[in-house]
Amino acid sequence: MATNALTTSSINSLVSDYITSEQSKRITPLTNKKTKYQNLVSSYSALSSKLDSLKTLLTDLKSSASSSIYYSKTGTSSNTNFVSVASSTGAVDGSYSLRVNQLAKNDLVLSSDLNTNDASTVITSAGTHEFTIKTGDGSGGEYTSKVSVTFDASDFTAGVISNSKVMQKIQSAVNSDTAAITSSSVTGSTASSGSFVIDIGGTETTINYSAGTYSDVIDSIVTQLNNIGGLTVQKVVDGSNYQLNFTVNDTSKYVTLKSDTGTLLTELGLNAVTKEKGASGVVTASVFTPSTGLSQFSLTAKTSGNDYRITSLTDTASNNALNSIGLNLGASRTSYVQNTSGADTPGYVYATTALNSKFEFNGINIERNSNTITDLITGTTVTLNSIMQATDTTVNVSVTKDVATIKKKIEDFITKFNDVYSYIKSNSKTSGETRGVFLGDATASSLITTLNDAAYKTVSGIPSSQLNSLSKIGITFNIDSGLTLSNSTTFEDAVKTKSDEVVSLFTTSTNGIAASLYDKVNPYLGSSGYLIKSQQTYNNTITTLTDSITSAQKRIDKSAGVLRSRYIQLQTQLAQLYSSQSYFSFTSSS
């Protein structure tokens, strides 16, 4: 039996039992504590996320500004086939009547319809042609777009270029055009010094210059223009001649050069640059096939309405790009005529009187450039969808308080409030042998007190005759489950008829429900909040416990090693005794 007790497997078992026993006494208590604090850290992280979500919502609810949720409005239309309405926070309440008589259109000009494959009778050789497109700027002025189109030698076959190719080249030139400004070529020096203003889409910058060589002056201007951003600027050098070249990269913006206190802009030939804009920012060019074998070119204004119409189409000097397709119309507004025999008469599809939307609003005739109208009712966008016939019933438009949106925000508050409340409550109980992680935790307990106070409180400073508690707007509180919107009728009536009191209930100074709750939960959050500080404390404790567990395990392992050595030594001694016993037994028998 003694021999069996000191076999290798028996020694391993004895040592293992020793380690298990020591771990149970010395390590398990430490591990249990570590697990507790790890659970607290994890639970605090989850609580922090839930509380931060509540705080974010409280940010909206504590605001009494005219743009806050309490002033949400909704616009409705009695017939959205004709008119759609969208109201934003702060819109003015009201009821209106509306009839749509005409929809706004984008100005449209069409070229002649030419035989696709026939040789152009106007463009007969390679070269660059320039033309100018002018359009309304929406405020009574004009944008000017100077376009260059190059017909390359490769565009010609057997010495001719087809009508369709001419149209495609013009189309490409228009749709890629940016506001590119090139000065006159100058040499020598300027005696002028001063400044001028460059206006890019309404943003003005003053450019200063001194008398000196044109080379140095242009270098200085290039440096200043590059500081503006949104421009591609360079000095062009041809021997002793110099030019300034720059392009406005954003085709939605124009460029104007003005207010020169000297003579430099005149010397550079730039004094007439006024509201120049890339053609691609104001019109769209297209080429299409009206019928088999024919090609036709169109220009469409990018913005609808008479104030953004195409006002002029003109070839520069002896250039012929527009002339080649019948659109060198100048400022005349020739009407487009589609002919059943022979080429169409190029020109404008719509009269200027047909470009604006026209409608009756509360019995008054009104026009706008667009079908989307934002300046008719404060805070409300009215969209005209279709023309009405005389037999169609007048559309009624109304703007009222958006009770549904306000209710949804309050319901979100209840949900997020309960999310925090129930999380703390459920983790502050003991279920069977499982102890809630927040049970006895001071931080979680203080939060529960804060939430209870907000739910039950009567807002100080608000008379009892007014809405001064959540219960008075139909929101009740249960200590086990949290808040509930138990009476929607009471709530909706309060929002509709006592909106000012609802606002005060939630926002009044530091006493309102949302305002005070925000102030009370805020210290728990952020890098220096109570929750983070508690987590840091617990993490430090976890680190200390981990070190203690490691040290205790090392001591146990060391003691187990000593114990194993002793057992092995006894095993060796016992084996020697048994060997000697066998010797003596053999001698005695002899």
- With H, G, I as helix, E, B as strand and everything else as coil, classify residue 537: helix
Biggest CA–CA distance in the chain, Å, is 146
**Residue 308 φ/ψ, nearest 5 degrees:** -120, 20
User: What is the reported pLDDT for 588?
Assistant: 54
Q: Confidence class of residue 1 from pLDDT cuts 50, 70 and 90? A: very low
**What three-state secondary structure class fits 405?**
helix
pLDDT tens profile 131-173: 999 999 999 999 999 999 999 999 999 999 999 999 999 999 9
Q: What confidence score (pLDDT) does residue 66 get? A: 83
- Give the pLDDT of residue 589: 54
The H or E element that residue 540 is part of is: helix 530-589
pLDDT averaged over every residue in the chain: 92
- With a cut of 60, say whether residue 457 has pLDDT above it: yes
Buried b (16+ CB within 10 A) or exposed e, 400-428: ebbbebbeebbebbeebbbbbbebbbebb
Q: Are 164 and 294 in contact (CB under 8 A)?
A: no
Helix (H, G, I), strand (E, B) or coil at 492: helix
d(CA 435, CA 482): 22
Q: Which two tokens stand for residue 275?
A: 């509201």
The tens digit of pLDDT for each residue in 92-124 reads 889 999 999 999 999 999 999 999 999 999 999
378-391 mean pLDDT: 97
What pLDDT is attached to residue 204?
97
Burial class (CB in 10 A: 0-12, 13-18, 19+), 227: exposed
Residues 508-522 pLDDT 10s = 877 899 999 999 999
Cα gap 511→356, rounded to integer Å: 53
**What's the CA angle centered on 201, arms 199 and 207, to 5 degrees?**
20
Above 80 in pLDDT, residue 580?
Answer: no
Long-range contacts of 551-559 (CB under 8 A, 24+ apart): 552/26, 552/27, 552/30, 553/23, 553/27, 556/19, 556/22, 556/23, 556/26, 556/27, 557/19, 559/18, 559/22
Calculate mean pLDDT across residues 232-249.
96
Q: Is pLDDT larger for residue 311 or for residue 40?
A: 311
Amino acid identity of residue 556, one-letter, is I
Two tokens at 382?
């009215």
DSSP-H helix ranges across 115-204: 163-175
Q: Which of 41-45, 135-139, 583-587 is the most confident on average? A: 135-139
> Between the CA atoms of 525, 528, 531 and 535, what dihedral angle is there, to the nearest 10 degrees?
140
The predicted-structure confidence for 460-506, as pLDDT tens digits, reads as follows: 889 999 999 999 999 999 998 899 999 999 999 998 889 889 999 99
* Contact between 462 and 505 (Cβ < 8 Å): yes
Q: Which of 161, 129, 133 is nearest to 145 (CA)?
A: 133
